Amino acid sequence: MTLSILIPAKSFAQGKSRLAEVLGPRDRAALCRQLLGHVLTVARDAIPDAAVHVVSACPEVRGFATERGATVLAEREPGHVPALMVAMQALPVDRPVLILSADLPMLAAADLRAMVQEPADVVIATDREGQGTNALLLKWPGLIPLRFGPKSCAAHVGEAERAGHRVSVIRRPGLADDVDLPEHLQIFSVGA
């Protein structure tokens, strides 16, 4: 199966703003760079024939992604969901797409392989609380409307079920443990 992987990424300077109380701007930018580098490496290693794309409005992020072998899709619409919806229009319509968070320090190749082996049209990798969506695999681009944001796991399940698609929710530490809040930095130091 040939797969398109979409990784949305904010500017390194603006990313991880919720960590400002414990990390200064330079450290947050370095953290964002390190996290994105890790996710790109794992994506390439896990599924070597996948087309890996980074979606970003930031020239620095796009340059970083290009240096690491990813194709860059400039963010043409502001906001996470609109940017991804527009980016999906540039992908082949006959191949699956995996939307993958850029902040997964414990992500491993086995996590991504597990997702693509799920026998479902929509596969959701939820966060540690079971509320959010850290990765979303669609049988083809635009299969369901994207509902990233608060309680996105349930929203994506609802969209898939309303459309009559087979849906699977998976929980794997490498996909569940993202870095958003100061307490999540402990996970990052374990995975680093």
CB atoms under 10 Å from CB of 118, counted, come to 17
Q: What is the pLDDT of residue 186?
A: 65
124, two tokens: 């959701």
Residue 179: name the closest of 107, 87, 123, 96 by CA: 107
Per-residue confidence in pLDDT tens, the chain, 192 aa? 589 999 999 998 777 666 657 667 788 788 889 999 999 999 999 999 999 999 999 999 999 999 999 999 988 888 889 999 999 999 999 999 999 999 999 999 999 999 999 999 999 999 989 999 999 999 999 999 999 999 999 999 999 999 999 999 999 999 998 766 545 566 655 344
pTM: 0.91
Domains of the chain: 4-188 (3.90.550.10)
Q: Which residues of 2-33 are buried (b: 16+ CB within 10 A; e: fewer)?
A: ebbbbbbbbebeebbeebeeebeeeebbebbb
State the alpha helices, DSSP H only, in 56-184. 59-67, 80-88, 109-117, 152-162, 173-176
Q: What is the pLDDT of residue 76?
A: 82
1-10 tens-digit pLDDT: 589 999 999 9
Q: What is the pLDDT of residue 178?
A: 79
Q: What is the pLDDT of residue 31?
A: 86
